[in-house]
């Protein structure tokens, strides 16, 4: 069995995690870094598609990737942004359900569930790999950042 190619978004999140610093994190009294129990960690991935490839890339997401997420019982992106102006064509905001620990995986259980659902939907590993290759080939540039927001009374 070939090692499947994982979604560009997952790879970008992993790379983004390596660039995340702790300079903005709050110091706990014991010196440990913390953001608080009411923090929801998110990853934001911006994408710029090659000329003429945006429409097909968005079609792949809508007709193949999103249904694979649903079939796998995964939540998908909490927000998708389609830009009219600026450098990027689109952005996706993903909740890191396990917090920053979600970034420690090379292939998380959810990535594996998603890939298996895509393979099943596409009729096999080869077809899923071809679709993934087409999507990846449409991406000119991407950039991910990881952050958090607060849900408690003192949310800012």
pLDDT of amino acid 11? 42
Cα–Cα separations (whole angstroms), residue 149 to 39, 121, 155: 5, 35, 7
152 in a structural domain: no
Would 31 be classed as within a structural domain? no
In a domain, 80, yes or no: yes
Q: Helices 109-122 and 125-138, interaxial angle, to 10°?
A: 110
CATH value at residue 73: 3.30.70.100
Q: What is the total count of domains within the chain?
A: 1
pLDDT mean over 25-29? 49
Q: How confident is the model at residue 29 (pLDDT cuts 50, 70, 90)?
A: low
Mean pLDDT lowest among 20-29, 50-59, 103-112, 127-136: 20-29
105 domain-assigned: yes
Dihedral of the alpha carbons of 125, 126, 127, 130, in degrees to the nearest 10:
120
Specify the DSSP class assigned to residue 140.
E
Distance in angstroms (rounded) separating the CA atoms of residues 141 and 124: 28
- Where in the sequence is the domain holding 90, given as residue range(s)? 8-18+40-147
Does some domain include residue 154?
Answer: no
Q: Is the residue at 32 inside a domain?
A: no
Q: With respect to residue 45, please indicate whether it lies within any of the assigned structural domains.
A: yes
What number is the average pLDDT over the span 1-16? 43
Q: How far apart are CA 81 and CA 15, in angstroms?
A: 21
In a domain, 133, yes or no: yes
Of 8-12, 29-33, 35-39, 49-53, minimum mean pLDDT range: 8-12
Q: What is the mean pLDDT of residues 45-65?
A: 97
Q: Is 2 helix (H, G, I), strand (E, B) or coil?
A: coil
Distance (Å, whole) CA 84 – CA 68: 27
- Give the pLDDT of residue 152: 78
Q: What is the mean pLDDT of the chain?
A: 83
């Amino acid at each position: 069995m070939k090692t499947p190619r994982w979604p560009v978004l997952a790879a970008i999140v992993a790379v983004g995690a390596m660039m995340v610093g702790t300079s903005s994190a709050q110091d706990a009294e014991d010196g440990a870094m913390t953001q608080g129990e009411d923090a929801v960690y998110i990853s934001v991935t911006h994408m710029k598609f090659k000329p003429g490839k945006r429409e097909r890339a968005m079609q792949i997401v809508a007709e193949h990737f999103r249904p694979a997420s649903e079939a796998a019982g995964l939540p998908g992106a909490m927000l998708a942004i389609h830009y009219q102006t600026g450098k990027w064509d689109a952005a996706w905001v993903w909740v890191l359900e396990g917090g920053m620990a979600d970034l420690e995986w090379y292939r998380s259980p959810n990535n594996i569930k998603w890939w298996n659902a895509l393979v099943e939907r596409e009729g096999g590993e080869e077809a899923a790999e071809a679709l993934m290759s087409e999507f990846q080939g449409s991406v000119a540039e991407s950039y991910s950042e990881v952050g958090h927001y607060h849900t408690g009374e003192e949310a800012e």
